[in-house]
Amino acid sequence: MSDRVYDVIVVGAGPGGTSVATFLARRGISTLVLDRADFPRDKVCGDAVAPEAFDVLAALGVDVAALTDGYPPVPRLSLRSPGGAVVERATARPSFVVPREVLDARLLTAALAAGAEVRRQLVRRVEPGADGVVVDGALEAGVLVGADGAESVVRRALGLGANAPTRLAVAIRGYAPATDGGALRLVTTAQRWPAYAWSFPIGDGRANVGYGELVSGGANRAHLVDGLHRLLPDAAPDALRAHRLPLSTGRPRQPDGRVLLAGDAAGLINPLQGEGIGPAMVSARLAAEAVLAGPDQAARGYAQAVEAAFGQYMAGASALQQVMLRRPRTTSAATRLLTAPVVRRAVAGTWSVYWNGLADGARPRPAAWTARAVQVTAGRLARRGRGSARTGTEA
């Protein structure tokens, strides 16, 4: 017997979960957010928030300036290749680096202000039914949104299982004195792919620094620390923490019925560089819109919307990631070529836009047009390849 029925229960109070709650609560939908932690709380992350995330928040009516107060925009991206060449360019729109301890607490405050309820609770059991979903035998909702991260309890409770080890990345992160406050710095390595170190300036004299790669590469803590020190020898971070990310090559299927998976729980991670806050926000908006369209068809509508929003980019980028995984030496050589002095002037802008998944929202300019063409072509080739694999014909 449930002790209260809500229109929607959201499991997970990260950026995706609180965005769903804010969107729905503002529209009079009774919404409960459950999270196992008290806020504010730290979360292992690169802390960089892409522009499209703020587009979603602005559409929700959230005061973006208040969210980023004290954290200046970072308008440049710097990429260093395995050969040591550096490409640095202004991004089409600036990113912000806001520690998750701050960002998530501010987003949760916005959800509360919109009228959502919040409760600390570790969800253990999810029971979907024809007319609703029961959580832990005591709470009931017309729709449940699982936004509870890479190790999603909701996903596992539905029997969808964990992500395959070959499709999981692990990273360590700490905070160190900033050495360059003007750019998001990424340093790649020839050893494995995807593998890179980062240094993202926060704006208070510190930078979020870390290193990550695939779990299947045998990445234990000592190996990750060594990778960080090798690629960012000047970084001296404080206590390092680790986190796992499901790459989009292994996205679980969306559930049927009245349960939706958003963000990391749905494997919506950029497969080329591991960014997840932007996709979590976009999926949150799609989930909320699907709920508003009708709870009995929410899962079906949401699955279609996710495919329309992410399918083309994720399909092509995931296929490219798989090629890079199988051919690390070729990948390293290609990276050196792309960052060669003559070539990088021609392709750096296009690669930056495509690699970060920003083709659809970038300002109209040659780099964005070319990146969009690459995205369309790669997506079509990937889908054709999947179709050929299923039918046994050649692409």
Task: Find which of 142-146, 334-338, 391-395 is predicted with most confidence, using mean pLDDT.
Answer: 142-146
Find where tokens 């050969």 sit: 83
Q: What is the mean pLDDT of residues 229-251?
A: 80
The whole-number pLDDT of residue 213 equals 83
Give 389's pLDDT tier (boundaries 50, 70, 90): very low
Structure-derived torsion over alpha carbons of residues 38, 44, 47, 51, reported in degrees to the nearest 10: -80
Give 308's pLDDT tier (boundaries 50, 70, 90): confident
For residue 167 the two structure tokens come to 């499709």
Structure-derived torsion over alpha carbons of residues 248, 21, 161, 272, reported in degrees to the nearest 10: 10
Give 384's pLDDT tier (boundaries 50, 70, 90): low
Q: In this model, does residue 69 exceed pLDDT 60?
A: yes
Question: Which is more confidently placed, 72 or 246?
Answer: 72
Q: What is the mean pLDDT of residues 150-168?
A: 79
User: String of b and e for 116-147 (b: at least 16 CB within 10 Å)?
Assistant: bbbeebebeebebeeebbbbeeebbbbbbbbb
Mean pLDDT of the chain: 83
Q: What is the mean pLDDT of residues 353-376?
A: 67
**SS3 at position 89:** strand
Domains, the chain, in order of start with CATH, read 4-72+95-163+248-311 (3.50.50.60), 165-245 (3.30.9.10), 316-391 (no CATH)
Count CA atoms closer than 13 A to 144's CA, side-chain side.
Answer: 34
Query: DSSP code of 265?
Result: G
Q: What is the mean pLDDT of residues 198-203?
A: 94
Contacts of residues 18-21 at CB distance under 8 Å and 24 or more positions apart, as own/partner, are: 18/104, 18/107, 18/108, 18/110, 18/111, 18/116, 19/56, 19/57, 19/60, 19/107, 19/280, 19/281, 19/284, 19/285, 19/288, 20/145, 20/147, 20/262, 20/284, 20/287, 20/288, 21/111, 21/114, 21/116
Give 392's pLDDT tier (boundaries 50, 70, 90): very low
Q: In this model, does residue 181 exceed pLDDT 80?
A: no
Q: Give the lowest-confidence range in 250-254, 288-292, 309-313.
A: 250-254
* Among 113, 160, 120, 114, CA closest to 136: 120
